[in-house]
Homo-oligomer: A and B are copies of this chain.
Amino acid sequence: MTNFDAGLLADRTPLPSGLDSRLLRHFTFLIEVDKLKTVLRASPLAAADRRENDAEHSWHLALMVLVLAEHADEPIDVGHTIKLVVVHDLVEIYAGDTPIYDTEAGHDQQDREEAAADRLFGLLPDDSGRELRALWDEFEARSTPEARFAKAVDRLQPLLLNWMAKGGTWRTPGVTADDVRSRKAVIGEASATLWEAARHLIDEGERRGWASSRDR
């Protein structure tokens, strides 16, 4: 299910006439993306008793890329990797967040997100839209060292939040520590060091009963 019906945010307080037409499209897009701040994820914050939203998550990934880049197995362009994480969840403005352990919603996720990308990036002038779309496609395809590292950090960040919450979404009914390991294994495609640390957190979480050792 995609969420196209609410209309554009910019239509609620139309921008004044007299703006350059190219800049008008840039501003319309940059106002529309404010909606990412309202897309809630499953992960609990460490600093407050509420769930994280996609904008906060995307910022956190950007900072993690900056700090953790030295642990990448292949050399990466840090600035480019940060661009990937800044745009990686934008399609969820219309397609919604698909929790990693929700196999049901996962079925039509790709179709929903492609439609959302067409709509959202279509707000921009063609060349600007193509640039952002290419970043999102690169992230999804994991075809470059930068995209693989961006994806690794996207999987590592909620793991830190779940650790802080003594389980968090690891406690989703039916989810086992082995499920967590298999969803997080993609970290190992980008960084042996980070994957070793992630496994250590999951192993210790399982030992403490924060993640289940078998199907419940």
State whether the Cβ of A193 lies closer than 8 Å to any Cβ in chain B.
yes
The interface residues of chain B lying within 8 Å CB-to-CB of A173 are none
Rounded to whole Å, the gap between the CB of A102 and the closest CB of chain B is 23
| B66/A55 in contact, CB under 8 A | no
How many Å lie between the Cα of A78 and that of B15 in the bound state? 26
| B56/A26 in contact, CB under 8 A | no
State whether the Cβ of A115 lies closer than 8 Å to any Cβ in chain B.
no
| B63/A23 in contact, CB under 8 A | no
| A26/B67 in contact, CB under 8 A | yes
Rounded to whole Å, the gap between the CB of A55 and the closest CB of chain B is 4
- Copy tally for this chain in the complex stands at 2
Please report whether the interface of chain A is mostly helix, strand, loop or mixed according to DSSP.
helix
How many Å lie between the Cα of A76 and that of B95 in the bound state? 33
Rounded to whole Å, the gap between the CB of A29 and the closest CB of chain B is 7
For the side of the interface on A, what is the size category? 35 or more
Binary interface encoding of chain A residues 44-57 relative to chain B, with 1 for a CB under 8 A from any of its CBs, else 0 = 01111000110110
| A62/B80 in contact, CB under 8 A | no
Rounded to whole Å, the gap between the CB of A145 and the closest CB of chain B is 15
State whether the Cβ of A186 lies closer than 8 Å to any Cβ in chain B.
no
State whether the Cβ of A86 lies closer than 8 Å to any Cβ in chain B.
yes
| A200/B86 in contact, CB under 8 A | no
How many Å lie between the Cα of A13 and that of B71 in the bound state? 24
How many Å lie between the Cα of A111 and that of B52 in the bound state? 31
State whether the Cβ of A216 lies closer than 8 Å to any Cβ in chain B.
no
The interface residues of chain B lying within 8 Å CB-to-CB of A63 are 30, 33, 86-87, 90
Chain A 1-42 residues near chain B, CB threshold 8 A: 9-10, 12-13, 15-16, 18-20, 23, 26-27, 29-31, 33-38
| A66/B47 in contact, CB under 8 A | no
